[in-house]
Amino acid sequence: MKTGVIGYGVAAQAMHLPFITTNPKFQLLSILQRHGQSAKEKYPGVNLVRSLEEMLADPMLELVVVTTPNDTHFEYASRSLNAGKHVVLEKPFTITSEEAKKLVAIAGASGKTLSVFQNRRYVSDFLTIRQLLKEKKLGEIVEFEAHYDRYRPEQKPNAWREEDAPGTGILYDLGAHLIDQVLCLFGLPKSVTADLRMQRPHARTTDYFDLWLDYGFTRITLKSGMLVREPGPRYMIHGTKGSFIKYGEDPQEALLRQGMLPNTPDWGREPEENFGLLHTEINGRVVREKYPSLPGNYGGYYDDLYDAIVNDGPLRVTPEQGYNTVKLIELATESNQKNCTIICRDLMDVPYN
């Protein structure tokens, strides 16, 4: 599948290009880099283009991958779809649910595939938790708490995500991952209660969130902050039969940022010391032991995408799911502004594979 990538920042270099260039199902045809030659130096056989018009004019191009800032997503995706290209959008899809709903309609009318790069469905901890819940090793889940924390006390230079602008802040950035994971595991919530803050003195946009999602019997807590020097458990899950506690981070992002390619046999495997603790009852016997983590692989996203486009397989991450994530971010923002619980409304009742 002949592919073009819009943008040549960290997302393109570390999250997309390594998986496109090492997957024989894809051919990297072009990169849109408005300034400089670094993309051409890294990928000398690729067309370096300077504008979206130039990229879309190539009749050989089949798939466009958008890795640019959030406020460009709607324009670039809609123009690419209307030009007859399949499109992958970096999360969080769009910056408003109104834009998201329009993109869903445009994709439907175009007959082309539109998907969101929710790579955190393809990480070790999420895949392991999904298996645990599917096998009901914890019984019925009563409480699920997930953290995505960092320690960055100073503002990152030239970081558009930390500016005061639409679609910026930690809720759009890291929150989009956690919200998508919960929707995959539990479906649509009944209500949301949110506490959004700017904790660092220099902060211009949200750098902390605490969300409570109500599922009736099950209570979900999602938290993220930029002042967590010593992280606690990444996941804490309690059910009627047992608990699962998980520390540590999926290894892929750190390896990719170091320039490693995902073409080794043990790619995405966590070290044993990062395995989660399972304390439950199995066949009448209480067990308290390390539970082996499944290997993660962001590349599974591109395999699934190819299968959906070429073989008419199921599209694992749909534009409607992208809409739901953006809508929940808006509902959480409304909850924080009004200091109250907000009933989850106008979500799309669509399946999550």
pLDDT digits (tens, 9 = 90+) for 314-348: 999 999 999 999 999 999 999 999 999 999 999 99
CA pair distance 2, 353, nearest whole angstrom = 26
Counting Cα atoms < 13 Å in the Cβ hemisphere of 234 gives 18
Instruction: State residue 278's pLDDT score.
Output: 98
The 10s digit of each residue's pLDDT in 242-265 is: 999 999 999 999 999 999 999 998
Work out the widest C-alpha separation in the chain, in whole angstroms. 65
pTM for the structure as a whole: 0.96
Identify the CATH homologous superfamily for domain 120-297+327-343: Dihydrodipicolinate Reductase; domain 2 (3.30.360.10)
What number of other Cβ atoms are within 10 A of residue 11's Cβ?
20
What is the residue extent of each domain of the chain?
A: 2-117+302-311, 120-297+327-343
Provide φ and ψ at 172, rounded to 5°.
Answer: -70, -30
- Asked if the domains 2-117+302-311 and 120-297+327-343 are classified in one and the same CATH topology, the answer is no
The 10s digit of each residue's pLDDT in 116-149 is: 999 999 999 999 999 999 999 999 999 999 999 9
Pick the CATH number of 2-117+302-311 from 3.20.20.140, 3.40.50.720, 3.40.1550.20, 3.30.2290.10: 3.40.50.720
The 10s digit of each residue's pLDDT in 72-120 is: 999 999 999 999 999 999 999 999 999 999 999 999 999 999 999 999 9
